[in-house]
Structure 1
Amino acid sequence: MTLMTNPSHPGEVLKELYLGPLDLSAIGLARRLHVPRTRIERLVKGETALTADTAMRLATFFGTTPEYWMNLQRAWDLARARDTVDVSDITPLAAA
């Protein structure tokens, strides 16, 4: 099993792969997605997590899938958890 040890935040992906190449600002994207500008600004800065609502809107606008966007968030969350959650004191259930 391959683990992504340092995945990009979904906001970084949005900024680098979509907004930059399209010369589209966070405010411009927010207007086109019909969301508050702060939602996209904070996402691009990595200050907030991607929500399912935003994933649906991004997928519709960019012609991707909501799963694409949510998987970016999931990978980011799991990588952060691996760095911070201590499970060393949990004994795995023995196989029957």
Structure 2
Amino acid sequence: MSQNLTPARVPTPGKILSRELEARGWTQKDLAEIIGRPVQTINEIIRGTKQITPETAIKLSQALGTSAEFWTNLEVKYRLHLAGKEKKQEGKEQIITRKSQLYTILPMSEIIKNGWIKKQIPLIV
């Protein structure tokens, strides 16, 4: 049986960027000047209120000697982590898994079509 392990905490891409700036001795203003973006944009990325776009990822990769994929992957993994936490808190993840299992083992479309169960009723086992 495989285990689905998830990290307890996923750092924001902004946290990684902040540490990189610190290691280089750069300020947010320095980076903004280098990549030609407003300081506010850099600050919002670091605070986690603005996502790293593909265009910004390319500029960051050029300035920091990384790949654009590094920055986009950090962003996507962080956003997926947040979305997964929300789904778990709502309990929807379990419902979707159970529904999927039912549709795999039973002809659910036919069962609903024949009126044996109503489509509006959540299929929870």
TM-score scaled to structure 2, two decimals? Answer: 0.68
Larger radius of gyration: 2
Task: Report 1 or 2 for greater relative contact order, CA contacts < 8 Å, sequence distance ≥ 6.
Answer: 1
CA distance in 1, matches of 2:5, 2:32: 35
Partner residue, 2:71: 69
Question: How many pairs does the alignment contain?
Answer: 94
Question: 2:51 aligned with 1:41, yes or no?
Answer: no
Partner residue, 1:94: 104
Q: How does 1:16-31 map to 2 (within 5 A)?
A: 16=19, 18-31=20-33
Structure 2 residue runs without a partner (length 5+) = 106-125
The superposition leaves residues 19-76 of structure 1 with CA deviations (integer Å, 9 ceiling, x where unpaired) of 0011111111001100111110111111211111110000111111111001100110
* Stretch deviating more after TM superposition (82-91 or 58-67): 82-91
CA RMSD of aligned residues (A): 1.7
Percent identity, please: 23
Pick aligned residue for 2:82 from 80, 83, 93: 80
Which stretches of structure 1, 4 residues or longer, exceed 3 Å deviation after superposition? 1-5
CA distance in 1, matches of 2:23, 2:65: 15
- Asked if 2 retains the 8 angstrom alpha-carbon contact of 1:27 and 1:41, the reply is no
TM-score scaled to structure 1, two decimals? Answer: 0.86
- Asked if 2 retains the 8 angstrom alpha-carbon contact of 1:10 and 1:72, the reply is yes
Partner residue, 2:11: 8
Decide which structure has greater helix share.
2
Structure 1 residue runs without a partner (length 5+) = none
